[in-house]
Chains A and B, each alone.
Chain A
Amino acid sequence: MNQSDSERVRRVLEGMGAQWTDSEEEAGIIGILACSVRQKAIDKVYSKISAWNRRKDRQNLITFISGCILPADKEKFLKLFDIVFAMRELPQFPQMMAHYGITTPAGLERDNLNPKEEMSFFWKVKPKYNSNFEAFVPIQNGCDKFCSFCAVPYTRGREVSRPSAEIVNEVQSLVNKGYKSITLLGQNVNSYGLDKKGKEINFAQLLEAIGEIGVKSSHRFWVYFTSPHPRDMGREVIEVIARYDCLAKQIHLPLQSGDDKVLIRMNRKHSLKKYRESVEAIRELIPQATLFTDIIVGFSGETDEQFQNTRKALKEFDYNMAYIAMYSRRPGATSYSWPDDVELATKKQRLAVLSEDLAGTAGAYNAQMVDKVFPVLVRDKDRKSGYLSGQTEGKITVRFASEDNALIGQIVDVRITSAGNFSVEGELLEVSALMDRE
């Protein structure tokens, strides 16, 4: 989400005449898009702003911060940063800069808007995409779920859906430009449209509209989405993904815990049974789909028995990837006031055990890829000299021998020759995209 936000911030700043620099020392305007999911990230903000404020003794510098900020942090940031704004207030950024003597035509007017109106203006800001083959398209902002371990409902506010016409237009524009990977972003993407109470299409219908773009397109591209919430993962969504080639057959469905009581304590608003029904529908309708998840180990009060239920779930659902985090208390989240009562050593052990289990399920999938040919979106040079790396449609990392950097951003066919637990290696066959990007 922050990457997508940063592309829009960059566009606004460049629209004001600012030039991008990769050098922190050289910058005259410098800012942070914060993430409140982990305390560590917020700690870094304090470290950065202290250094920048010291620099103000010797150079002109305007500092700003936006993104996910808890109310308590915001109060402190107002004293430390020159400008603090909610991301939905981005269109008003030029007016804020005007207070510091940087006046642009965009800074001459200022509207008093409510948060939903501000959000609609934010989405109209055209992003300055950081990549020419991979793009992120925000479709929804905020969260109504109130998971007890998370502070997002208090930092980003309630769920607000972006107008579907804007989303479809942005995706169409990206497809026209030859983008190969497009990710629809939101805190709860599959709650899309629900806040409009019947006045907007739902997530399945949005995917359908995007799927139709793929039907009419002459080149291959893959559309992903993250993150969905299991509560709103209906069969209708899965059926649409199955129907359209351009909707990537990779689904990230956060589990968080495999134990119903922990799920209740996390206020996840779904049971393991409900989660299982979604996975069964995925396996039935999209058997080739890869499945990713998020898991928290050592959540407040998690017993060994409850952790064992998560282990069972991980094995049952046969994940290709799981982002496993050791629980840490986040100020602002409901669970912050609860005892962090699982010993660090136990958390580490649970993380290690789950990681090993994951290696088993992911490795088994990767092993059966050997000798098969997969289209791979080449993303970058690999760390191994003389190799490029990319991802399959299912986001399995692939590397292959090639020094042809022109392939980066292209979809090529790769025959898999060997498999590891979390990546595979192969040999390049041919460029399979039907049309080069513009």
Chain B
Amino acid sequence: MQKEVPVANKIKTDLHEILQIRHLTDSTFVLRIERKGLTFQAGQHVCVGPPNGIHTREYSIYSAEQDDYLEILVKEVENGLVSPSLKKLKSGGFVVVEEPVGYFTINKALPKNQKYVFIASGTGISPFHSFVLSTPGLNYTLLHGVRHGDEAYDADAYEAGRYVLCTSRDDSGNYKGRVTQYLKKHPFGTDVHYYLCGNCNMIHDVYDILEEQGVSTDNIHAEVYF
């Protein structure tokens, strides 16, 4: 007897066509895909996976709320279950995309001139790219921690003077050193809302520094990349 077992736990909801793959470095690329009516708030993430695979991974949305496509910023993880497969896909191919979710969003009830400091490591810059593109006039400073200057992903998307590239392995950035060192030397104050996104160690270290600087935990928002 032929088994026609329904695909169980099919979290996959829909296939979205890949519109463009833009390589930023050897390992990092922007995947632009059909939006197909999905709504989201800047800072939310989607689960994305290859069309015939069983795994998906969470990626913060890189594009703006008003764009008619979705973009995600992907760094290929060696031996990863999803990113190496995504890297092999081409325009015209498809990916599985689940509905956007997440809480790492800007509180729209705050005053329009509210000062924000965004602190990212590596591809943790993704939600901030979406924040900035989605909200013209946002009062922000973006600290971006990377190893080398070529990881300044789409740095020209940010207003002059608002983007601070912190490079730990070369001096091609605006600051030679880690974001934590920059933050210690250049405190932003306690009435600022801090958004941290990237690896866990960076977030822990920044958290400590901000607490030492007297920042309330109510003003610290974190999205950890694993």
Contacts and interface: CB of A to CB of B under 8 A. Distances in A.
Do these two chains really belong together in a complex? yes
Interface of A: 65-66, 69, 71-72, 74-75, 77-78, 82-86, 89, 92, 96, 99-100, 114-115, 144, 146, 148, 154-159, 197, 231, 260-261, 264-265, 267, 269, 271, 273, 334-335
Contacts of B220: 271
B8 A72 contact: no
Contact of A264 (B6, B101, B204): B204
Interface string B198-226: 00100110010000000001101010101
A96 B6 contact: yes
B3 A231 contact: no
A335 B226 CA distance: 8
Contacts of A96: 5-6
A289 B218 CA distance: 27
A265 B222 CA distance: 10
B28 to A, nearest CB: 20
Contacts of B99: 158
B52 interface: no
B203 A89 contact: no
A84 B7 CA distance: 7
A95 to B, nearest CB: 9
Contacts of A271: 217, 220
Given A71-B55, A264-B224, A84 B8 contact: yes
A78 B5 contact: yes
A75 B102 CA distance: 28
Contacts of A99: 1, 3-4
Given A144-B102, A264-B200, A78 B8 contact: yes
A304 to B, nearest CB: 16
B9 A69 contact: yes
26 contacts: A66-B8, A69-B8, A71-B9, A74-B9, A75-B54, A78-B8, A82-B5, A84-B8, A85-B5, A96-B5, A96-B6, A99-B3, A115-B10, A115-B11, A144-B101, A148-B224, A148-B226, A154-B56, A155-B9, A156-B9, A158-B99, A159-B101, A197-B39, A261-B207, A264-B207, A267-B224
Given A77-B8, A86-B10, A99-B1, 20 more contacts: A72-B55, A82-B3, A83-B5, A85-B6, A86-B9, A92-B6, A96-B6, A99-B4, A144-B101, A154-B11, A156-B9, A157-B9, A158-B99, A159-B101, A197-B39, A265-B200, A265-B204, A265-B224, A269-B103, A271-B217
B71 interface: no
A107 to B, nearest CB: 13
A386 B120 CA distance: 65
Contact of B13 (A84, A86, A115): A115
A348 to B, nearest CB: 26
Contact of A260 (B6, B101, B217): B217
Contacts of A115: 10-11, 13
Contacts of A231: 103
B17 interface: no
A144 B47 CA distance: 11
Interface string B9-27: 1110100000000000000
B7 to A, nearest CB: 8
Given A264-B224, A269-B103, A271-B217, A158 B98 contact: yes
Contacts of A265: 200, 204, 224
Nearest to A70: B9
A273 B224 contact: no
Interface string B50-63: 00001110100000
Contacts of A158: 11, 98-99, 101
A429 B174 CA distance: 77
Interface string B86-101: 0000000000001101
Contacts of B224: 148, 264-265, 267
A371 B224 CA distance: 51
Given A71-B54, A82-B3, A99-B4, A264 B203 contact: yes
B111 to A, nearest CB: 22
Contacts of B10: 86, 115
Nearest to A334: B226
Contacts of B203: 264
Contacts of B217: 260, 271, 273
Contacts of B204: 261, 264-265
